[in-house]
């Protein structure tokens, strides 16, 4: 091998030195580098898991928010419907009250008209009775006392009522 320019003792020394270097590198550099890479890999994995957890929590929160919005929308719609119904009820009650009041006014007006008509009829009857007594007194030329006067009025009124019926 010497013809090739390789010396056996130098070769052995270089191989032994290389093996010692490999053992030292393994002890000093490889294990710490591997630990550091393992630690980095673990951190990346944890970060990914945390990101997934945050993503899942975000999706859950978004779903809850959607449900809350839907619930709020339903509640708002129900409140609007209740308000509309209450408004309709109030409107209907007001209409009923106005109708009742109008009916009451009509009844009172009719009663007043009837009373005034009755008073007018009574007034006409009294005038008629007075005129009748006066005319009768002139015809028979005597003044009637109250009893005769009343009898005559009743008789005339009865006859006038009978004439109207026929």
Find how far residue 133's CA is from the centre of its chain.
77
What is the domain extent for residue 62? 2-165
Cβ atoms of residues 113 and 124 within 8 Å: no
Please state the domain count of the chain: 1
Work out the pLDDT band at 156, boundaries 50, 70, 90: confident
Q: What percent of the chain has pLDDT over 70?
A: 86
pTM above 0.85, yes or no: no
Q: Between 123 and 82, whose confidence is greater?
A: 82
pLDDT tens-place string over residues 64-113: 999 999 999 999 999 999 999 999 999 999 999 999 999 999 999 999 99
CA-based nearest residue to 159, from 148, 151, 120, 146: 151
The C-alpha atoms of residue 124 and residue 120 are separated, in whole angstroms, by: 6
């Amino acid at each position: 091998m010497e013809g090739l320019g390789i010396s056996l003792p130098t070769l052995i020394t270089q191989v032994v030195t290389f093996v010692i270097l490999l053992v030292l590198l393994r002890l000093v550099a490889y294990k710490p580098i591997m630990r550091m890479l393992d630690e980095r890999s673990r951190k990346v994995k944890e970060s990914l898991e945390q990101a997934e957890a945050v993503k899942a929590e975000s999706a859950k929160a978004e779903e809850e928010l959607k449900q809350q919005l839907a619930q709020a929308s339903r509640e708002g719609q129900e409140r609007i419907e209740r308000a509309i119904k209450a408004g309709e009820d109030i409107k209907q009650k007001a209409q009923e009250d106005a109708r009742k009041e109008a009916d009451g006014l009509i009844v009172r007006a009719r009663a007043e008209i009837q009373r005034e008509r009755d008073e007018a009829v009574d007034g006409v009857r009294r005038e008629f009775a007075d005129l009748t007594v006066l005319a009768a007194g002139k015809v028979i030329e005597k003044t009637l006392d109250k009893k005769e006067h009343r009898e005559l009025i009743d008789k005339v009124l009865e006859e006038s009522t009978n004439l109207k019926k026929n």
